[in-house]
Structure 1
Amino acid sequence: MLVLTALSALLAVVPVYATTGIIVPLYQFPSTSATWAPLETAMSTFPSMQFYIIINPFSGPGDADSQPDPAYQSSIQTLRTHSNALLVGYVATGDGTRASADVLQDIETYAGWDASYGMDGIFFDQTQTGFDAEYTSYSDAVRNTAWPGRATGYVIMNPGDDIGNSDYYSLADQIVTFEDTFAKFQQESPIPLPHPAQQSVIIHTFTGPGVSDQTLSSVVQTIKSAGFASTYITDRNISVEDVYADFGTDFTQFVADVAA
């Protein structure tokens, strides 16, 4: 009951702002057409729901100015047939330790992909919770670049925690302000919501005593009612596996709960 009590408290104080979409860390090599099939099925089943899909071939795009593996090319082309898919390329920032020239090169490499399997913007991982002036140059590089079907590149930043500077929100369309286990989510609820329509929450290791289908539905409802821009929840357990290397066993229910 502790779970539902904390979630109810969050619901009581936060108004509804926007429809919540699904953010998908798609860190799986598409070795066959079946690899990404659960996602394609979800997009077809719920065409009015937005999916923000993070493409991550090599913890980034690969070699400078390269094109992706042919398997990625064909699989991304399939994703792009869905009008509710927004694709962002993964770029690591190393919590501020990665050279800015390397970050900018990754952006340029993604931007150079053929339009048929191109991106719509960039997902910056491991950004710091504090404002960093370099992030302005990263954001500008994305927004001032031509991307397939978009006049302005889409920017998502992932500090994975609450951020203290509201200026951060001017740099990104979305900011992941929580990425951790469900146990940690319970401890930190209610999540601060300075700009819910620009915030995303990612929960992995959605397991443990008392965690059920009802728990998942309740958590999703809380996230939706809070007005988060997007969310992703998986029961894959970080203590034993790569939580983003495959879809969780709860993926189908999770998608249906967000769409409900």
Structure 2
Amino acid sequence: MSILLPLYVYPQGGAWEPLYSAAKAHPDVDFTVIVNPCSGPCIASLPDKYYLDEIPKLRTFENIRPLGYVATSYASKNLSAVTAEINTYANWPLLTNNTKMKVDGIFFDETPSTYSSDKYQYLKTASQLVRNSTKFRDRFVVHNPGNITAILAQKDVLQNSYMNLSDITVVFEEAFDKWLDKNTMNALQSDTGVRRSKLAVILHSIPNISKKVLDFVVEQVEETADWLFLTDVKEKDKYYHSFSTMFADLVDSVDGS
């Protein structure tokens, strides 16, 4: 089991140290982390000095894979703008003269959940731009529609979704209490034939729970997905802008799973 971490924490004053400490203490846990300096790559300029200092440090850990953040606005954003953002990430090493500024792929946020041929072609074009570029080390693609539980329940999910375009799809990104809903659980734990290694679950607003209960939640998520992230931050639009008090315990639970 591995961690998919939205690393939207501003990297000033050692703010990323919890990640470095966790990666060092748990070398068998893989971290795929999403860097997001300007709700994207800072299209007109390089990121500020704090990002330029910290992003290369991610490359010093063999178990950390950095991805660049690109939002598609549910495939309504102009594809040329998406292409420009992908190319900006790809060119970071050249523009900074630092090979450690290379990211390994792209995290496409706000991707559509309902299938259409036009949106499929849109995402295929964007995803192939990553897949075909030697400037991304792993050419890794993640899609985040946020919630496709209804689609997962369909037997032809791979034919009528965008899941064959990505390495990982975030099938559920919601508050913890919605995870507990019976319909959600039934859909996510149904036998769809989709490999767990292609699925991720992100839960925020986790209540104050013991380490034993956290272990149980991690085991429960593992029945659906091989990638997860949990946080007890409850403030809207702030879920991923800090390391929560449970982060170290989360990594320990994932390592133990």
Q: Which amino acid aligns with 1:253?
A: D
* 1:204/1:238 contact within 8 Å kept: no
Q: How has the CA–CA distance of structure 1 residues 48 and 212 changed in structure 2, closer, same or farther, with 3 Å as cutoff?
A: closer
Relative contact order, higher structure (CA 8 A, sep 6+)? 1
Q: Tell me, in whole angstroms, the C-alpha distance in 1 between the residues paired with 2:230 and 2:216.
A: 12
Map of 1:107-126 to 2, 5 A cutoff? 107-114=86-93, 115-126=99-110
Q: 1:127 aligns with which of 91, 101, 111?
A: 111
How far did residue 229 of structure 1 move? 2.6
Where does the alignment leave 5 or more consecutive residues of structure 2 unmatched?
94-98, 152-156
Q: Secondary structure, in 3 states, of the residue corresponding to 2:180? A: helix
How far did residue 97 of structure 1 move? 1.8
* 1:197/1:227 contact within 8 Å kept: no
Q: 2:210 aligns with which of 198, 209, 212?
A: 212
Q: Secondary structure, in 3 states, of the residue corresponding to 1:103? A: helix
Instruction: Note the alpha carbon deviations across 1:61-98, whole angstroms, 9 max, x for none.
Output: 0124x332221122111111000111110001111221
Q: Secondary structure, in 3 states, of the residue corresponding to 2:24? A: helix
Query: Does 1:54 find its partner at 2:54?
Result: no
1:29 corresponds in structure 2 to: 10
Q: 1:237 aligns with which of 234, 238, 245?
A: 234
Q: Tell me, in whole angstroms, the C-alpha distance in 2 between the residues paired with 1:51 and 1:217.
A: 18
Q: Normalising by structure 1, what TM-score?
A: 0.85
Q: 1:63 aligns with which of 43, 49, 52?
A: 43
Q: Tell me, in whole angstroms, the C-alpha distance in 1 between the residues paired with 2:213 and 2:185.
A: 15
Map of 1:11-160 to 2, 5 A cutoff? 20-32=1-13, 34-64=14-44, 66-114=45-93, 115-131=99-115, 132=119, 133-147=121-135, 150=137, 152-160=138-146
Q: Tell me, in whole angstroms, the C-alpha distance in 1 between the residues paired with 2:122 and 2:145.
A: 14
Query: How many correspondences in the alignment?
Result: 233
Q: CA RMSD in A?
A: 1.7
Q: Which amino acid aligns with 1:214?
A: K
Q: Tell me, in whole angstroms, the C-alpha distance in 2 between the residues paired with 1:108 and 1:229.
A: 29
Query: Does 1:161 find its partner at 2:147?
Result: yes
Q: Tell me, in whole angstroms, the C-alpha distance in 1 between the residues paired with 2:198 and 2:125.
A: 20
Q: Tell me, in whole angstroms, the C-alpha distance in 2 between the residues paired with 1:146 and 1:69.
A: 25
Q: Tell me, in whole angstroms, the C-alpha distance in 1 between the residues paired with 2:25 and 2:105.
A: 25
Q: Which amino acid aligns with 1:125?
A: D
Q: Secondary structure, in 3 states, of the residue corresponding to 2:5? A: strand
Instruction: Note the alpha carbon deviations across 1:97-134, whole angstroms, 9 max, x for none.
Output: 21111111100000001122110000000001123220
Q: How has the CA–CA distance of structure 1 residues 227 and 46 changed in structure 2, closer, same or farther, with 3 Å as cutoff?
A: farther
Where does the alignment leave 5 or more consecutive residues of structure 1 unmatched?
1-19
Instruction: Note the alpha carbon deviations across 1:187-208, whole angstroms, 9 max, x for none.
Output: 1214256322200000000016
104-113 or 182-191, larger mean C-alpha shift: 182-191
How far did residue 223 of structure 1 move? 2.0
Q: Secondary structure, in 3 states, of the residue corresponding to 1:222? A: helix
Q: Tell me, in whole angstroms, the C-alpha distance in 1 between the residues paired with 2:255 and 2:202.
A: 17
How far did residue 145 of structure 1 move? 0.9
Moved over 6 A (4+): none
How far did residue 49 of structure 1 move? 1.3
Q: Normalising by structure 2, what TM-score?
A: 0.86
Q: Which amino acid aligns with 2:111?
A: T
* 1:203/1:233 contact within 8 Å kept: yes
Instruction: Note the alpha carbon deviations across 1:229-260, whole angstroms, 9 max, x for none.
Output: 31000000035x61111011111111100000
How far did residue 215 of structure 1 move? 2.4
Q: Which amino acid aligns with 1:25?
A: P
Q: Tell me, in whole angstroms, the C-alpha distance in 2 between the residues paired with 1:21 and 1:73.
A: 26
